[in-house]
Amino acid sequence: MLIVCCRGQESAGIVTSNGASPPLYAIHKGMGLVNSTFREEQIQKLRTGNLGIGHTRYSTSGISGLQNCQPFVVETLHGKIAVAHNGELVNAKKLKMKVLRHGVGLSTSSDSELITQLLALTPPKEEADTPDWVARIRNLMTATLTSYSLLVMYKDVIYAVRDPYGNRPLCLGRLVPVSKFDSPRETDTESETEGWVVSSESCSFQSIGARYYREVLPGEIVQISKHGIKTLDRVPRPGGDPPAFCIFEYVYFARPDSIFEGQMVYTVRRRCGHQLAIEAPVDADLVSTVPESATPAALGYAQEAGLPYVEVLCKNRYVGRTFIQPNTRLRQLGVAQKFGALSDNFAGKRIVLIDDSIVRGNTISPIIKVLKEAGAKEVHIRVASPPIRFPCYMGINIPTKEELIANKPEFEDLAGYIGANSVVYLSVDGLLSAVQEGSKSLRPNSIISNGDNDSKSSPKQIGHCTACLTGKYPVELEW
């Protein structure tokens, strides 16, 4: 089974296929977390197939409802296809008009349905009885350059696709025999591969007995079948533009044990902490973290500053991630339930509290209040990323400038507003330095295998989207 994980908690869906001609699809979707949506009865139904794609939704555009739950399945001239999408199209309105002019009705408010319908359109030179899926995918990629990682399932084949700017992550993994999983990676041989898996993040592979293989490159179309994987095409960016991988993945969104651009997210976050300590030192007694995504940065800060790292907050692990809750009230209620103070560790002491980001300012103020009420002498906030000043239109839920704390009058005295003794953010240059320091092996003059059956090679450029920090979007936005 091949599954793309889009890292949301609002809804989940899986579509499997038996690979026949025509294929028999089994589908189950539901609102809520995976463990509440899929019971044994549904899992048994899905096991009738030998390949499949799945999706967990985190809504950025379109309402949070069952009608927008993915994967989408539609009938085309050549049979059914199933599509799972992670990202957000920057020219969705224009594409919607294109689809409607072709006489195609839309049943959801999701731009992911637009992608599905665009793939169903017949390319000009396609043979009547032979679908040209590379041409169809290329047409889509030409019509919209970002932001998407896709899985497209047709009969007994799955196509893994990443937009030309590589804004959203996508990676490949190999299912290895159970007998080999605990053995050194160096002893692996590709001939022992029992199947292929695809995910937004490599951290998901270990739990299913798979090993990270490589990233899908920006603009790459990878075919996955019973014969293995093969690169079918690579769609270039216009004008020699650099890639634009979302830098917020490193800051917050990704799990720390995931691998992007040849480096582990944890390591990048620790480097951010080192850089933050250089840029923003403070007289204090200890360094701590807002758990858990800021912990690597706090450890890096403590090491560079020569201060002890001490836990000051106890996290309630039954409360989900507050950033990706769909509205402010739910985020605020989540914070109130999320943390308790370990007062014996810090009473009467000056704390440097590291956070990964302060976006809306909803979460940090009550945390500072908890610490000071529990006996902290001072609380100095250090943020391991720059201020978020601009909306994201490419798949992160930062929809308006007005809700960002960095654009509010209170930002002029942010420390006073949130109750801290001081607040300093990491600089944009500092973040880029921390992120790109470990990507040197993947710069334009280097070569990496593209992983197809012909063992060809292609250059890999490094570039990052910093639009939420700088307002410089990788492509022109169309409304």
Binding-site sequence positions for Mg(2+): 293, 355-356
Residues contributing to the annotated binding site? 246, 293, 355-356, 392, 465, 468
Per-position DSSP letters for 130-181, written without gaps between them? B--HHHHHHHHHHH--SS-EEEEEETTEEEEEE-TT--S--EEEEE--HHHH
Positions at the binding site for [4Fe-4S] cluster: 246, 392, 465, 468
CA-to-CA dists, residue 30 to 57, 113, 201, 215, angstroms: 10, 17, 22, 29
Nearest 5 degrees, angle CA 435-CA 451-CA 149?
60
Q: Which amino acid is at 191?
A: S
- Residue 302's closest CA among 315, 289, 312, 318? 289
- Quick one: residue 228, left, alpha or beta (phi over 0 = left, psi -120 to 50 = alpha)? left
Q: Are 95 and 89 in contact, with CB atoms under 8 Å apart?
A: yes
- Look-up of token digits 């053995």: 183
Q: How many angstroms separate the CA atoms of 297 and 284, rounded?
A: 17
Residues 6+ apart with CB under 8 A from 179: none
Distances (CA, A) of 241 to 90, 117, 461, 474: 17, 28, 10, 8
Task: Give the three-class secondary structure for 3.
Answer: coil
